[in-house]
A and B are shown apart, each in its own frame.
Chain A
Amino acid sequence: MSQKDFNPKILGFLCNWCCYAAADSAGVSRYQYPPNLRTIRVMCTGRLDPAFVLRGFAEGADAIFSGG
């Protein structure tokens, strides 16, 4: 697979108060970004148990994004 065709699956954990809010305002401002991210909202990235990250990789994520 060439670099160009690589279409990664990214799983993101977004803090409700900052990163999720930022993703909302990116939408309001119509910023365009690649559609590779699937998100899970948490009330704080402090909720992010390392086990979630491992499970994400096990489920086929190419990368885990933590936004807090």
Chain B
Amino acid sequence: MRPRYIDADKCTACGLCTKYCPRHLVDQYNEGLAITRPIHIDYAQAVPATYFIDPEACLYLKHGTCQICVCTCQSKAIDFSQKPEEKELHIGAVIMAPGFGRVPDATLAKYSYGQHPDVMTSLEFERLLCASGPFEGEVKCLSDRRHPKRIAFIQCVGSRDLGCNNGYCSSVCCMYAIKEAMVAKEHDPEVEITIYYMDMRTQGKGFDAAQKKAESMGIKFVRARVADVMPWDKNLKLTYSTMDGKHSFEPYDIVVLSVGLDAPADAKNLGEIAGFALNEYDFCKTETFAPLLTTKPGVFVAGAFQGPKDIPESVTQSSAAAGLAAGLIVKDRGKALVHKTYPKEQKTGTDEEVRIGVFVCHCGINISSVVDVASVEQYTEGMEGVVYHAQSLYSCSQDAQEVLKAKIKEHNLNRVVIAACSPRTHEPLFQETLKDAGLNRCLFEMVNIRDHCSWVHANEPAAATQKSMDLVRMGIAKARHIQPLPEQTVPVTAKALVLGGGVAGLTAALTLAEQGFHTTVVEKEDTLGGHLQHLSFTLQGDTVSTVLGNLTDTVKKNKKIEVLTNTELTQVNGFVGNFSSVLTTTKGKKTTETTIDHGVIIIATGGREHRPEVVLGNPVEYSEAIVTQRELEKRLSGKGKNLAPKSVVMVQCAGSRGDDLNYCSKVCCNHAVKNALKIKALDPASQVIVLYRDMRTYGFAEDSYRQAREQGVVFIPYTMDNKPKFKSSGKKTSVTFYDPILRDEVTMNPEVLALSVGIVAEGTEEISKLLKVPVNEDKFFLEAHVKLRPVELPVSGVYVCGLAHSPKPVEEIIVQAQAAAAKASIPLCKGFVSVEPTISCVDKETCIGCGLCESLCPYQSIRITKDENGKRKAETITASCKGCGICASHCPVFAISMGGFTDEQINAQITAFGAK
């Protein structure tokens, strides 16, 4: 452990030390585009929110002089006596998540990177766009600070390039380039932006739509290879060649290099220390059907180190890896956890005298340099209910907590108002102190006089002081009405229900069972395996039937898993922790119903192959000569002679990406390459032509795409303005397409026309109605948060994985299933769901049972039930209420109250707003 030279318990992140530090340091967080000091914090929201000293740049640590920071720091946090420490830990499992590395500068040199300041990497450009970046979000040329008129993005820099030994596709650059281009366009709608690409690989959920939006904003996409970028007067000259062999050049003010994700710099070292193997590109070596296992047992991998990937996939892998690690050491669950204890809570009755303590914070000089803190404090003197008021230098510091506790006891306070920073960041800290002092944590109100006052009215101290007084007055008014709220928990039935017996459902069930939870798998078909039963081999060469056989056997043998085939979910009642579901099994003419209780639901109902009847405007009749890729795969993996057709034309995006379906199905390009390689392996003389829009062989699949080209598979792009045409008469099929290299129409008569059709959602709408979970416009389930909660649905206790979420290859399905199982096991292993006290509560006396709240609640967390007299009454489902208050604001008889935000409290605030 390297020292920070700053005591984290004392540092209040006020920033005074950075202000006084005399030495400059290049700001790595801002990609070297800004200047900071050796004593600094990377960014305001950094965790831990403790400054640190760069020992390589600090004058004292390097040369033994200075120490200005020591006398500047008011909380005496600077500690030069800290030494590096070594720790020895004994651990049960390891998760490797070291991220990715940088493409070496040498690879960027041919684009004049390093020679001209206006050629920059995408990460540098990202910092330029950011409000906390070097120019506070203003996009300027680094050379002379002028606003750029023309910006170019060059894709695949350091990716899909054997020249720098990065043969793979980095999978994220197309997306971030589109994002950065759009944000730059928002900054300045006049700026002209061109993205030079080989294939636009926007294969993720909703990604194609974002690219369309970028196009509609006027961002140009040009399929070309960029030869070089050279300084040209004040500008840059970008030379490129298009498919038709033409060379052109254009002037630009800024050229952004969309750099790929390299393996982390210390990958080899990590591999040696931990004893796991790397792949040829120095990423972690894993298998298709065990994507998160390293070659060393007990060591798991997650994130970009497993292969280049975006944020949602990294988050998914992390949850999955956590679930796998948890399953490995399940017998030690909870053994090492440290639980905190609190003193018994004192009772605060409604009729008890209100005794408010007000603490006004200086936050170093963050507040007090603008707001007259002493006046604000004095202002509270004599206010109704206020029995104590004080100032503190840093109310969040450890010693201030001790003072707070002492004052609560000394003055017998039963409400605390702190005027300081944001409750969003600091409320939990103070509530913890209240609990330590034996008070209910809800007897607390925070007034934000820093973020909402001193920081934003820095030049108007009088007005800021007045605003602080007003806000404090309003806070105290609310505090007079706050009441203790009980800590609520809801018990959980430690069982899971998994819908779907495909690879997603089975993997999820196994992951849950390994953690010790009883799981019921429901499959509507007769057999387990789903989509995977129709596949024979993978791009990586695995035999699917063997793997699937092993998986189904393991599931069937597991005593914790109950499998119900020919069964469907027909009814669901309850909420997180306490679901009760009716399952209907149909065998022949006989149907049986069973009801099971469970705490969570995982939706893994899959999807099915899309079979469009019209492809790119051509009517299609499927036959032996016109097949889907799946049917071609079946033929290729059969027995006997002449498996490989003599000639094949494959058509990508058949019925996808705006043809019939609006989205990209993510798997079809890999499927085509897989089949093409198989044909070439069976018969190298066979002719294979692939007509495509963008080859989306992202990640390491790019290697197979390159291999296919090397083996003579011909890839020819088409556009939606010039679609391939096909006809069939009898056994003969003819395909006509435009060849951009020949610059002419070509007609062929292939033995087989293989259509790369997409994947559609199946049965999602029915489940959506049953469980009240949303689906998107393409009928796939819509996750709770696209980036950070990718396997959770908005209804608590319901999770999604596999094709029901969106089309994706099997490797990603397995990870998603493991992640959904890991997330689902959180409430199961806790045994209860804790509820924030800020939820709705119905006064049954007043409620007239109109049902408006039930129909409006976005989380299905309030329902109408019958009371003992048979009268309709609303009831909050505490376990899933999110506290939004829509029910309370719409209740016609004011029967609904929100914990911590009652009508009484808000009205008191409004009245206090008016009072002077």
Cβ-defined contact, A27 with B474, below 8 A: no
Cβ-defined contact, B884 with A46, below 8 A: yes
Give the number of A-B contacts (CB < 8 Å).
116
Cβ-defined contact, A28 with B44, below 8 A: yes
- In the complex, what distance in Å separates the CA atom of A26 from the CA atom of B44? 12
- In the complex, what distance in Å separates the CA atom of A61 from the CA atom of B584? 59
Cβ-defined contact, B906 with A42, below 8 A: yes
Q: Which residues of B contact A35 (CB under 8 A)?
A: 453, 456-457, 460, 463-464, 466-467
Residue of A nearest to B43 (CB): A28
CB distance from B909 to the nearest CB of A (A): 5
- In the complex, what distance in Å separates the CA atom of A28 from the CA atom of B131? 11
Cβ-defined contact, B901 with A42, below 8 A: yes
In the complex, whether B758 has a CB less than 8 A from a CB of chain A is no
Cβ-defined contact, B456 with A33, below 8 A: yes
In the complex, whether B455 has a CB less than 8 A from a CB of chain A is yes
Q: Which of A38-61 contact B (CB under 8 A)?
A: 38-44, 46-52, 55-56, 58-61
- In the complex, what distance in Å separates the CA atom of A60 from the CA atom of B463? 18
Contact with A along B131-169 (1 / 0, CB 8 A): 110001000000000000000000000000000000000
In the complex, whether A21 has a CB less than 8 A from a CB of chain B is yes
Contact with A along B857-890 (1 / 0, CB 8 A): 0100000000000000000000000111110110
In the complex, whether B903 has a CB less than 8 A from a CB of chain A is yes
- In the complex, what distance in Å separates the CA atom of A55 from the CA atom of B903? 12
Contact of A44 among B470, B471, B885, B907 (CB under 8 A): B885
- In the complex, what distance in Å separates the CA atom of A49 from the CA atom of B901? 12
- In the complex, what distance in Å separates the CA atom of A35 from the CA atom of B455? 11
Cβ-defined contact, A44 with B422, below 8 A: no
- In the complex, what distance in Å separates the CA atom of A24 from the CA atom of B455? 10
Cβ-defined contact, A20 with B838, below 8 A: no
Residue of B nearest to A49 (CB): B889
Cβ-defined contact, B910 with A52, below 8 A: yes
Q: Which residues of B contact A52 (CB under 8 A)?
A: 906-907, 910
Known: A38-B474, A47-B888, A49-B888. A24 touches B422 (CB 8 A): yes
- In the complex, what distance in Å separates the CA atom of A28 from the CA atom of B45? 9
Contact with A along B891-914 (1 / 0, CB 8 A): 000000010110100110111011
Known: A40-B910, A61-B913. A23 touches B886 (CB 8 A): no
Residue of B nearest to A59 (CB): B914
Q: Which of A4-35 contact B (CB under 8 A)?
A: 9, 11, 16, 20-21, 23-24, 26-33, 35
Cβ-defined contact, B910 with A27, below 8 A: no
Contact of B470 among A21, A38, A49, A51 (CB under 8 A): A38
Residue of B nearest to A64 (CB): B910
In the complex, whether B424 has a CB less than 8 A from a CB of chain A is yes
Residue of A nearest to B462 (CB): A35
Cβ-defined contact, B906 with A40, below 8 A: yes
Looking at B423, B424, B456, B471, the one whose CB has the most chain A CB atoms below 10 A away is B456
Known: A47-B886, A48-B889. A32 touches B456 (CB 8 A): yes
Cβ-defined contact, B889 with A47, below 8 A: yes
In the complex, whether B706 has a CB less than 8 A from a CB of chain A is no
Contact with A along B194-232 (1 / 0, CB 8 A): 000000000000000000000000000000000000000
CB distance from A47 to the nearest CB of B (A): 3
Cβ-defined contact, B471 with A39, below 8 A: yes
Cβ-defined contact, B884 with A39, below 8 A: no
CB distance from B370 to the nearest CB of A (A): 10
Known: A39-B471, A56-B910, A60-B914. A28 touches B451 (CB 8 A): yes
Cβ-defined contact, B913 with A59, below 8 A: yes
Cβ-defined contact, B910 with A26, below 8 A: no
- In the complex, what distance in Å separates the CA atom of A61 from the CA atom of B911? 11
In the complex, whether B450 has a CB less than 8 A from a CB of chain A is yes
Query: Number of A interface residues, CB 8 Å?
Result: 36
CB distance from B878 to the nearest CB of A (A): 15
Contact of A43 among B132, B422, B898 (CB under 8 A): B898
Contact of B471 among A33, A38, A50 (CB under 8 A): A38
Cβ-defined contact, A43 with B884, below 8 A: yes
In the complex, whether B458 has a CB less than 8 A from a CB of chain A is yes
Residue of A nearest to B44 (CB): A28
Cβ-defined contact, B455 with A27, below 8 A: yes
Cβ-defined contact, B458 with A55, below 8 A: no
Q: Which residues of A contact B131 (CB under 8 A)?
A: 29
CB distance from A36 to the nearest CB of B (A): 9
Looking at B459, B901, B915, the one whose CB has the most chain A CB atoms below 10 A away is B901
Known: A52-B906, A60-B914. A32 touches B457 (CB 8 A): yes
CB distance from A27 to the nearest CB of B (A): 3
CB distance from B834 to the nearest CB of A (A): 17
In the complex, whether B452 has a CB less than 8 A from a CB of chain A is yes
Cβ-defined contact, A47 with B907, below 8 A: no
Looking at A29, A30, A47, A48, the one whose CB has the most chain B CB atoms below 10 A away is A47
Cβ-defined contact, A27 with B452, below 8 A: yes
Residue of B nearest to A41 (CB): B423
Cβ-defined contact, A27 with B456, below 8 A: yes
Cβ-defined contact, B901 with A47, below 8 A: yes
CB distance from A14 to the nearest CB of B (A): 9
Cβ-defined contact, A38 with B885, below 8 A: no
- In the complex, what distance in Å separates the CA atom of A7 from the CA atom of B459? 17
Q: Which residues of A contact B898 (CB under 8 A)?
A: 43, 47
CB distance from A58 to the nearest CB of B (A): 8
Q: Which of B757-771 contact A (CB under 8 A)?
A: none
Cβ-defined contact, A47 with B885, below 8 A: yes
Contact of B424 among A20, A31, A48, A59 (CB under 8 A): A20
Cβ-defined contact, B457 with A24, below 8 A: no
- In the complex, what distance in Å separates the CA atom of A47 from the CA atom of B131? 31
Q: Which residues of A contact B906 (CB under 8 A)?
A: 40, 42, 47, 49, 52
Contact of B910 among A11, A16, A30, A31 (CB under 8 A): A11
Known: A32-B458, A56-B910. A27 touches B450 (CB 8 A): yes
Q: Which residues of B contact A27 (CB under 8 A)?
A: 422, 450-452, 455-456
Q: Which of B444-499 contact A (CB under 8 A)?
A: 448, 450-453, 455-460, 463-464, 466-467, 470-471, 474
CB distance from B390 to the nearest CB of A (A): 23
CB distance from A33 to the nearest CB of B (A): 6
Q: Which residues of A contact B424 (CB under 8 A)?
A: 16, 20-21, 24
Contact with A along B22-62 (1 / 0, CB 8 A): 00000000000000000000001100000000000000000
* Nearest 10 A/B pairs, CB to CB: A59-B914, A47-B885, A27-B451, A46-B886, A44-B884, A27-B455, A35-B463, A49-B889, A24-B451, A35-B457
Chain A positions within 8 Å of B, measured between CB atoms, are: 9, 11, 16, 20-21, 23-24, 26-33, 35, 38-44, 46-52, 55-56, 58-61
Can you list 28 contacts pairing A with B, beta carbon distance less than 8 Å?
A21-B424, A23-B451, A24-B451, A26-B456, A27-B451, A28-B451, A28-B455, A32-B456, A32-B457, A32-B458, A33-B457, A35-B466, A38-B467, A39-B448, A40-B909, A41-B423, A42-B885, A43-B882, A43-B884, A43-B885, A47-B898, A49-B903, A50-B889, A51-B903, A55-B910, A56-B910, A56-B913, A61-B914
* 13 extra A-B contacts, CB within 8 A, seeds A26-B456, A43-B898, A61-B914: A24-B451, A26-B451, A30-B455, A33-B457, A35-B463, A41-B423, A43-B884, A44-B885, A46-B885, A47-B889, A47-B906, A49-B888, A60-B914
